[in-house]
Amino acid sequence: MQYTHLGRTGLLVSRFCLGTANLGPFTAPEDSPAIMNEALELGINFFDTADIYGWWGGREQPGLSEEIIGRWLAKDKARRRQIVLASKVYFPMSDDVNDRGLSAYHIRQACEDSLRRLKTDHIDLYQMHHVDRGQPQPTEYEWGMAKPGVDRQRSGQRKPETSWEEIWQAMELLVQQGKVLYLGSSNFAGWNIAQACERARQRNFLGLVSDQSLYNLSQRSIEMEVIPACREYGLGLLPYMALAGGLLAGTLRKAAAGRRTPVYDELDPGMKAKIDAWEAFCRELGEAPAHVATAWLLKNPAVTAPIIGPRRVEHLADSLRSLELDLDEAAMARLDEIWPGPGGQAPEAYAW
């Protein structure tokens, strides 16, 4: 396993982060410990969860993934010292009007609840799951599950409901109490990152050290403003949906073999042509599409650790091939042809 610093901190984390959103909803609770055991065996020391995880998959049980991790940690006290544990706060956890958002009231209670479920006395990286804009429920866009080629209609801009003064005061208290060590963001725009970091700087507070964002070969819009903001403020980037919900994991090959995935049925002719070129290039390289997609992320110096969320143990070990795959300049150029990005950072991406 390879390790790197989490953003501008001195903390070393593995180049892969184990995402645990599938633990509970898609991987049975009794099967989940095997995945975490294997992660430790492979040298993965970075585990990511969220208070809301367990909400999907038909279970509608927020907190389930944290509870699974908590039971795993409780069975062997040494495990807590072996991992960097990350969780998140923001989304509604009940019908209570204050059991959501980033108010000081909710941050304090949500942290206590996460600590209880995780059976630990501190969270290493506590992340704001979204900028506080009053969204009552997560949408497909927030989870990165919007279908390829489908226009993502948003519900319009919302005025932030909680001031940065209130948010940072609440987070500072958690740090002072030793319940949280580092702070991160998720699904922030570039200007949200700048705003949060500048307000923290005014308070002589470390502020954000990482951002978790939707990023993969097929969805590269964060290259315009989020990645430049991360570079400027020293945030480690933690991409989720590295395989675009299976789109980049050999969709056409699996369909040809009689294993049509749900994402295949959503592809329009233009996207199928692009996927065909993508999979043909991976065959030229002699590598599995999933490995190439993740290796492309690892090649980006802004990326700390892609988040991988295996549903089975064998998927986890197989992922490590990406660490050995060093894409040369010609391969990177070809990937840019197949999956063109926005053209660089803003404003150069769209203006002279």
More confident residue, 281 or 155: 281
Would you place residue 144 in the very low, low, confident or very high pLDDT band (cuts 50, 70, 90)?
A: very low
CB 241 within 8 A of CB 310: no
Contact (Cβ atoms closer than 8 angstroms) between residue 43 and residue 15 = no
Among the ranges given (217-221, 256-260, 308-312, 331-335), the one the predictor scored with the smallest mean pLDDT: 256-260
**Cα–Cα distance, 168 to 192 (Å, whole number):** 14
- Report CA dihedral (205, 190, 160, 158) to the nearest 10 degrees: -170
How far apart (Å, rounded) are the C-alpha atoms in residues 111 and 106?
Answer: 8
pLDDT at residue 222, rounded to an integer: 97
Q: Pick the more confident residue, 214 or 316.
A: 214
Residue with tokens 């043909």: 280
**Rounded Cα–Cα distance for residues 164 and 148 (Å):** 34
Q: Which helix (H) or strand (E) holds 242?
A: none
pLDDT of residue 336: 95
Residue 18 CA to residue 341 CA, distance in Å, equals 26
Q: Domains of the chain, with CATH numbers?
A: 3-143+161-338 (3.20.20.100)
Instruction: Let me know how long the chain is.
Output: 352
Which residues fall within 8 angstroms of residue 338, CB to CB, at 6 or more apart? 217, 274, 277, 278, 281
Percent of the chain's residues with pLDDT above 70? 90
Radius of gyration of the chain (CA): 20
pLDDT of res. 159: 55
pLDDT score, position 251: 79
Per-residue pLDDT tens for 258-314? Answer: 676 777 777 788 888 889 999 999 999 999 999 999 999 999 999 999 999 888 898
Cα-based distances in Å from 233 to 2, 8, 16, 24: 24, 8, 22, 35
Q: What is the pLDDT of residues 118-142, one digit of tens each?
A: 999 999 999 999 998 765 444 444 4
By three-state DSSP, how is residue 179 classified?
A: coil
Inter-residue contact 302 to 227 (CB < 8 Å): yes
Strand partners, 87: 126
pLDDT in tens, 1-60: 999 999 999 999 999 999 999 998 888 899 999 999 999 999 999 999 999 999 765 567
155-179: burial string, b at 16+ Cβ within 10 Å, e else: eeeeebebebebbbebbbebbeeeb
Catalytic option among 3, 53, 240, 264: 53
Q: Are 16 and 320 in contact (CB under 8 A)?
A: yes
Say yes or no to pLDDT of 97 above 60: yes
pLDDT at 270: 83
Is position 53 annotated as part of the catalytic site? yes
- Residue 188 pLDDT grade (very low, low, confident, very high; cuts 50, 70, 90): very high
The arithmetic mean of pLDDT across residues 57-84, rounded, is 90
The pLDDT value recorded for residue 145 is 45
| Residue with more model confidence, 134 or 322 | 322
Residue 157 has pLDDT above 60, yes or no: no
Mean pLDDT of 149-165: 59
C-alpha span between 241 and 213 (Å, rounded): 9
Q: What is the pTM of this model?
A: 0.89
Reply yes or no on whether the pLDDT at 151 is more than 80: no
Q: Which of 22-31, 66-75, 151-160, 237-246 has the lowest mean pLDDT?
A: 151-160
Residue 39: enclosing H or E segment and its boundaries?
A: helix 32-41
Identity of residue 53: Y
Alpha carbon distance 266, 274 (integer Å):
14
Mean of pLDDT over the chain: 89
Strands (E), 221-294: 236-240
Q: Which residues, at least 6 apart from 72, have a Cβ–Cβ distance to it below 8 Å?
A: 32, 33, 36, 79
